Structure 1
Amino acid sequence: MLHLRAVCPPDVTARALDVLRAHAGTAHLIAHRGAAVEPAGDLVEADIAREAADEIVDALCGLGLDHTGGITLEALDTALSDAADRAEEAAPGEGADAVVWEELVARTGEESRANVTFLAFLTIACLLAAVGVLTNSAVTIVGAMVVGPEFGPLAALAVGLVLRRGDLLRRAGVALGVGFPLAMVVTLGGALLVRATGVFGEKAFQLEQNHEVDFVFSVGVPSLVVAMLAGAAGMLAMTSAKSAALVGVFISVTTVPAAGYAVVAAVAGEWSRCLQSVGQLLVNLLGIVAAAAIVLTLRRNGQRSRVGTRPLSRG
């Protein structure tokens, strides 16, 4: 279940209540007259089945509430109510399969901003990957995969492509276009410092001996397959209630590790491995976005096909 709050101008409140009353997936409808201060108006609250959220939000946005008032959604972990049970049963489909499109756009938009936090995480992840390469540590490489925040902008690119949202495409493009070069430049400085000081030993840059991390730069068809499977799983997780699956996505692709390996290989003068690592990075980025966009298109088409047949009225 989701908890919906809508700030309504007084002249729109009745229509908003009609929208919520008419939908079988609504429970616990409450109206607070004059409760909203800024913007002034009424506050309408309801618990709604997740599979009904997209349609209800669209209807409320059709009343202009996203401009004249406000609409917020909040996940409910527990709802002990017969009315809530009936709403979930009446709403067609399964909650875990439902896509709340406005929620998806908001989430990917927020996670694709090239802010200080995003750049810091990406840089730290790239540095971790470089350490993993220098120490021949697959465990450290996995740690870099988990820390890397790049899936947010990649998901935003897929959403932007499918929904034709230029703002998401630009924002995600800036995040990736600025983030990876910055992280690699900082990692380059760190790798040069390590080589100058010899802190990791004389053999750290002898990459031909680091067989434990060869998978990072070995680009090929398997790399594309893994990237596409990860992109598909990641988009399924973001569009459903199974967000915990994102952790598995993070540790299945070698985007950040490939960037870190490319830098270390360049410092070591291993240009063939450097170019292969760059190719690995590009294959992973493109594969993730392509698969995520395909999954999103399929889910969108499937949801559209169900809208025409599902009942909206309780009666």
Structure 2
Amino acid sequence: MLHLRMIVPPDRTRAAVEVIESTVGTTHLVVLPGAARDPSGDVVMCDVAREAGDELLKGLRGLRIDQDGSIAVENIELSLSTRADHAEKEAPGEPADAVIWEQLTGATHEESTLSITYSAFMILATMIAACGVVLDNAILIVGAMAVGPEFGPLAGVCTAVVQRAPKLAARSLYALLVGFAAAIVATTVFSLGMDALDLFSRDRLDAPRPNTSFIWQPDPFSFVVALLAGIAGMLSLTSSKSGALVGVAISVTTVPAGANAAVALSYGEFGQMWGSIEQLLLNLFGIMLAGVLTLYGQKLLWRTQRGHWRRAPGARKEN
């Protein structure tokens, strides 16, 4: 269930209430006339099944409540209510299959903004991966993958393509490209410093590395894994299963590829560097392609499910 709290201009309160009451899966409607002060208006609250959340938000935005008032959405972790149980049964589909597009856009907007924190995580993850590359240590590589924040901008690009949001796409691509560029430059300097301290060496980079040599040697499996990771990542975001993102992060070699490119660049090993960049681009493209196709697939599936439900006998009619 989702909880909506709105500040509604008084002249649109009746219309907002009608939209809420006509949407299948809503309950616990509360109207507090004149309770809001900034901006002034009526406070309207309700709970809605996740399956009906996107439709309700579209209806409320059609009344321009988001522009002249406000709409806040929260996930309800626990709701002890028989009426809420009925509302969820009335709503079509399953909660895990529903996509709240406004929520997804908002989440990816926040995660795809180039910030000091995002850049710091990207640089630190790449430096950790650089240590793993030189030491041929798979544990460090996995740790670097988990630390890397690059899936946020990747999800932002996918969402922007499906939602036709050019500003979000530009912001996400900017964060992705600048983040990786800064991380590779910083890690190249880091590698030179570690070499000066005799902690990194060309011999270690050129030595057989059975645990990490795949990073700069892309093959068809690299693209297949990137596709699968892109699907899993988008499903985890749209279904609010954030724990799955950790698995996605440690299944693709984006950050390690950037790290290997940086270390190879510091030693003038251009063959390894270009192989690493190819691996990086292959993974990024695979994740974005799979993410876009997954979102389009979810949109089509959800439309099909709603169409079947509306045509089913006994389905509640909507105004």
Which TM-score applies when normalising by structure 1?
A: 0.96
Matched residue, 2:175: 175
Matched residue, 2:257: 258
Query: Cα offset for 1:313?
Result: 4.3
Is the CA contact (8 Å cut-off) linking 2:112 and 2:171 kept in structure 1? yes
Matched residue, 1:92: 92
Query: Cα offset for 1:270?
Result: 2.4
Quick check: 300-309 or 259-268, which moved more?
300-309
- Alpha carbons of 1:204 and 1:84: their partners in 2 closer, same or farther (altered >3 Å)? farther
How far apart are the structure 2 equivalents of 1:204 and 1:232? 39
2:164 aligned partner, one-letter code: R
Query: Cα offset for 1:53?
Result: 0.1
Is the CA contact (8 Å cut-off) linking 2:202 and 2:267 kept in structure 1? no
Indicate the SS of the match to 1:243.
coil
How far apart are the structure 2 equivalents of 1:113 and 1:204? 39
Matched residue, 1:222: 221
Query: Cα offset for 1:165?
Result: 0.6
Matched residue, 1:210: 209
Matched residue, 2:18: 18
How far apart are the structure 2 equivalents of 1:107 and 1:241? 11
Q: After superposition, where does 1:34-45 map in structure 2 within 5 Å? A: 34-45=34-45
Is the CA contact (8 Å cut-off) linking 1:3 and 1:73 kept in structure 2? yes
Indicate the SS of the match to 1:30.
strand
Asked whether 1:231 is paired with 2:230, we answer: yes
How far apart are the structure 1 equivalents of 2:194 and 2:254? 23
Residue identity (%): 45
How far apart are the structure 1 equivalents of 2:185 and 2:115? 17
Matched residue, 1:126: 126
1:174 aligned partner, one-letter code: Y
Indicate the SS of the match to 2:243.
helix
Query: Cα offset for 1:269?
Result: 3.0
Asked whether 1:246 is paired with 2:245, we answer: yes
Is the CA contact (8 Å cut-off) linking 2:30 and 2:45 kept in structure 1? yes
Query: Cα offset for 1:312?
Result: 5.5
How far apart are the structure 2 equivalents of 1:270 and 1:210? 15
2:88 aligned partner, one-letter code: E
Is the CA contact (8 Å cut-off) linking 1:22 and 1:312 kept in structure 2? no
- Deviations along 1:76-108, one digit per CA (max 9) or x if unpaired, are 110010000000000010001100000011111
Asked whether 1:269 is paired with 2:275, we answer: no
How far apart are the structure 2 equivalents of 1:299 and 1:209? 44
Indicate the SS of the match to 2:80.
coil
Quick check: 267-276 or 48-57, which moved more?
267-276
Matched residue, 1:149: 149
Is the CA contact (8 Å cut-off) linking 2:2 and 2:50 kept in structure 1? yes
Is the CA contact (8 Å cut-off) linking 1:122 and 1:149 kept in structure 2? yes
1:146 aligned partner, one-letter code: A
How far apart are the structure 1 equivalents of 2:259 and 2:306? 46
Which TM-score applies when normalising by structure 2?
A: 0.95
How far apart are the structure 1 equivalents of 2:242 and 2:176? 22
Matched residue, 2:287: 288
How far apart are the structure 2 equivalents of 1:79 and 1:236? 24
Is the CA contact (8 Å cut-off) linking 2:261 and 2:277 kept in structure 1? yes
How far apart are the structure 2 equivalents of 1:199 and 1:263? 16
Matched residue, 2:27: 27
- Alpha carbons of 1:182 and 1:276: their partners in 2 closer, same or farther (altered >3 Å)? same
Any stretches of 5+ residues in structure 2 without a counterpart?
none
Matched residue, 2:198: 198
1:226 aligned partner, one-letter code: V
Is the CA contact (8 Å cut-off) linking 1:95 and 1:241 kept in structure 2? no
Query: Cα offset for 1:304?
Result: 2.5
How far apart are the structure 2 equivalents of 1:209 and 1:196? 22
- Deviations along 1:226-274, one digit per CA (max 9) or x if unpaired, are 0010001101111113222111100100000000011112223322111
Indicate the SS of the match to 2:78.
coil
Query: Cα offset for 1:24?
Result: 2.4
1:95 aligned partner, one-letter code: P
When the two structures are aligned, how many residues end up with a matched partner? 314
How far apart are the structure 1 equivalents of 2:21 and 2:206? 66
How far apart are the structure 1 equivalents of 2:80 and 2:205? 61
Query: Cα offset for 1:314?
Result: 8.2
Is the CA contact (8 Å cut-off) linking 1:114 and 1:175 kept in structure 2? yes
Asked whether 1:69 is paired with 2:58, we answer: no
Indicate the SS of the match to 2:211.
helix
Query: Cα offset for 1:162?
Result: 1.4
Indicate the SS of the match to 2:261.
helix
Matched residue, 2:57: 57
